[in-house]
């Protein structure tokens, strides 16, 4: 019973190794340059061995995305219990987003590939389901905080806005700014040298605009986010490989 488990462990490890080698190629060079041939050469294994792990190239991409989304989910879970005050819990989620997109920039960028329909459609439903689950659980965590705030009387949702729609706004502004920052040819020359701070300010303005209690000033907001950021950074220190 010892021998098979060792072999299985080796196989598991190789699967991780494949993903580890594939990630930077997909990120830095794109989908086409990520070829099975090249991967096999880097692995110093035969091409066929790759296909014992993943039935096709697309599944590798999805597996990468799943790894990334699971990390983000863990960060969200950790953030969601970082305080008892709903507004602060949302700030902690914001800090998790920042940490994820900045210090796990690779993971963040990988997630984008599942939005490619060609890749999505060629992959197995098993992996597709995993991804949908991750997304759903992230959303649940955050919308749960909103509902909690409403229940505590910290926040009133007006104009028929649902908790999920409110979250969607924060999601969009964070996601959009990160993509733009990562890919816009010239954000700095456009007059936006410090995009993350700008986004923090917008989130702060939004929260106050919604009347979410307790409202502090922007300095408090920044201080809180930095604190939560440090907290998460410690918890996930071993996974923050970038930068």
11 near DNA, rule: CB under 7 A = yes
List phi, psi (to 5°) of 52.
Answer: -75, -20
The site map against a copy of itself for 142-161 (x = CB under 8 A) is -x--------------xx-x
Of 15, 106, 154, 164, the one binding a copy of itself by CB under 8 A: 164
List phi, psi (to 5°) of 192.
Answer: -125, 80
- Contacted by 153, from DNA, a copy of itself, none: CB < 5 to 8 Å by type: none
Rounded to an integer, what distance in angstroms lies between the CA atom of residue 102 and that of residue 178?
8
Rounded to an integer, what distance in angstroms lies between the CA atom of residue 56 and that of residue 76?
31
128 near a copy of itself, rule: CB under 8 A = yes
Using alpha carbons, select from 205, 207, 181, 182 the residue that is nearest to residue 194: 181
32-51 positions binding DNA, by CB under 7 A: 32-38, 45-49, 51
- Contacted by 28, from a copy of itself, DNA, none: CB < 5 to 8 Å by type: a copy of itself
99-138 positions binding DNA, by CB under 7 A: 122
What angle do helix axes 163-183 and 125-152 make, rounded to 10 degrees?
A: 120
- Contacted by 37, from a copy of itself, DNA, none: CB < 5 to 8 Å by type: DNA
> Under a CB-based contact definition with an 8 Å cutoff, are residues 66 and 133 in contact?
no
DSSP class per residue in 115-131: G-HHHHHHS-HHHHHHH
> Under a CB-based contact definition with an 8 Å cutoff, are residues 224 and 88 in contact?
yes
Q: Spell 108-134 as b/e; 16+ CB within 10 A means b.
A: bbbbbbbeeeebbeebeeebeebbeeb
List phi, psi (to 5°) of 238.
Answer: -75, -5
10 near DNA, rule: CB under 7 A = yes
- Contacted by 51, from DNA, a copy of itself, none: CB < 5 to 8 Å by type: DNA
Q: How many residues bind a copy of itself (CB under 8 A)?
A: 59
Binding site for DNA (CB under 7 A): 3, 7, 10-11, 14, 32-38, 45-49, 51-52, 55-57, 122
Binding site for a copy of itself (CB under 8 A): 28-30, 32-33, 114-118, 120, 128, 131-132, 135-136, 139, 143, 158-159, 161-166, 168-169, 171-177, 179-180, 183-187, 189-192, 194-195, 197-199, 201-202, 205-206, 208-210, 218
């Amino acid at each position: 019973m010892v021998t098979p488990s060792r072999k299985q462990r080796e196989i598991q490890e190789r699967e991780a190794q494949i993903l580890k080698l594939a990630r930077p190629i997909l990120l830095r060079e794109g989908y086409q340059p990520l070829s099975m041939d090249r991967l096999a050469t880097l692995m110093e294994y035969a091409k066929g061995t790759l296909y014992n792990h993943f039935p096709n190239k697309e599944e590798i991409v999805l597996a990468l995305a799943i790894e990334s989304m699971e990390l983000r989910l863990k960060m969200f879970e950790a953030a969601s219990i970082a305080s008892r005050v709903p507004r602060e819990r949302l700030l902690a989620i914001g800090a998790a987003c920042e940490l994820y997109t900045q210090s796990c920039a690779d993971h963040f960028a990988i997630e984008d590939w599942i939005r490619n329909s060609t890749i999505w459609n060629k992959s197995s439903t098993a992996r597709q389901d995993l991804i949908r689950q991750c997304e759903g659980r992230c959303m649940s965590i955050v919308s749960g905080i909103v509902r909690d705030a409403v229940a505590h009387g910290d926040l009133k949702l007006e104009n028929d806005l649902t908790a999920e729609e409110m979250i969607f706004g924060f999601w969009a502004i964070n996601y959009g700014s990160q993509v733009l920052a990562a890919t816009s040819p010239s954000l700095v020359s456009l007059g936006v040298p410090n995009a993350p701070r700008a986004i923090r300010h917008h989130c702060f303005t939004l929260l106050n605009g919604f009347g979410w209690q307790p409202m502090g000033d922007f300095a408090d907001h920044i201080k809180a986010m930095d604190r939560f950021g440090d907290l998460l950074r410690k918890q996930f220190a071993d996974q923050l490989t970038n930068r």
